Chains A and B, each alone.
Chain A
Amino acid sequence: GEQVEQRPPHLSVREGDSAVIICTYTDPNSYYFFWYKQEPGAGLQLLMKVFSSTEINEGQGFTVLLNKKDKQLSLNLTAAHPGDSAVYFCAVSPLPGTGSNRLTFGKGTKFSLIP
C-alpha cells in the first residue's frame, strides 16, 4: 500500500524566516494531495489540496508544490510568524474509482519559532 515519508520531524526557525516541509510518497496512483495544520487541542485544519501533475498553489503565507514525476509534495512557509506554530501533516489519497478514499498521512512536522 501507499507509504508517505515526511521530513523533517521537527523544524524551528526565527520569525520572518522561511521553511520547507517535504513529503515523498510511493504509489504512482496517488491522485489527491493535502496539507493539514494541527494546533494543540484542535482537529486538523485543511491548508491546501492539490492534484494534477505539477502544481504550485499559493495560500496565505505558504506555497505548495506537487511534483508527480518525483512523487514529492512540499509545503513552503514564507515569513514565519507565531501563528504558524503547529504540527503539519501531508496526506495523499488514491484515484477516484479505485474504491478507496482513505487518506495516508505523513508522520507530521512539529514547527515552532525560535524565541
Chain B
Amino acid sequence: GPKVLQIPSHQIIDMGQMVTLNCDPVSNHLYFYWYKQILGQQMEFLVNFYNGKVMEKSKLFKDQFSVERPDGSYFTLKIQPTALEDSAVYFCASSFRDWYAEQFFGPGTRLTVL
C-alpha cells in the first residue's frame, strides 16, 4: 500500500542546535501532519498543513517549531533551537482529504536531544 517515508530514522543532537525532520508523504495526498510521542506516553498531535499553510496546531507546537513543504518536496519539521523536552519520536502522516480519511503514517524519527 501507499507508504510515508521519514528521514532520518534516528537523530541525536545537542541542546540548542537546529534539527530538520524530513517526511516524504504519499504522492497524491494533500494534507500533512506531525505527531509527537514521548516514550511511554500517548502520540499527540502537533500540526496539520494544507496548501502551503498551517491549518491547525496544538499547544505542543512551540514557537521554535516550523513546518514547510517547498515545491512539493519533503514535508519538514524544523526545531530551532532544540530543548531537552523535544526528545521524542516524531511521526509524519498524510491524507488525501481532511475528514474521515485514513491518515497514512511514517515509521517515525527518534530524536534525542542531549
Contacts and interface: CB of A to CB of B under 8 A. Distances in A.
B63 to A, nearest CB: 19
Contacts of A100: 56
Interface string A81-106: 00000000100010010011111111
Contacts of A108: 42-43
Contacts of B41: 107
Contacts, number: 55
Interface residues of A, number: 24
Interface in B4-29: 4
- By Cβ-Cβ distance, the 5 closest A-B pairs, closest first, are A43-B105, A96-B99, A102-B45, A44-B105, A105-B43
Given A101-B48, A105-B42, A32 B100 contact: yes
The main secondary structure of chain A at its interface with chain B is: loop
Nearest to B1: A45
Interface in B90-111: 91, 95, 98-108
Contacts of A99: 56
Contact of B102 (A49, A102, A105): A49
Contacts of B33: 102
Interface of A: 4, 32, 34, 36, 41-44, 46, 49, 51, 89, 93, 96, 99-108
B58 interface: yes
16 contacts: A41-B107, A42-B107, A43-B105, A43-B107, A44-B91, A44-B105, A93-B99, A100-B56, A101-B99, A101-B101, A102-B33, A102-B48, A103-B103, A104-B45, A105-B44, A108-B42
Given A43-B4, A105-B35, 9 more contacts: A34-B102, A43-B3, A43-B106, A99-B56, A101-B31, A102-B33, A103-B45, A104-B45, A105-B42
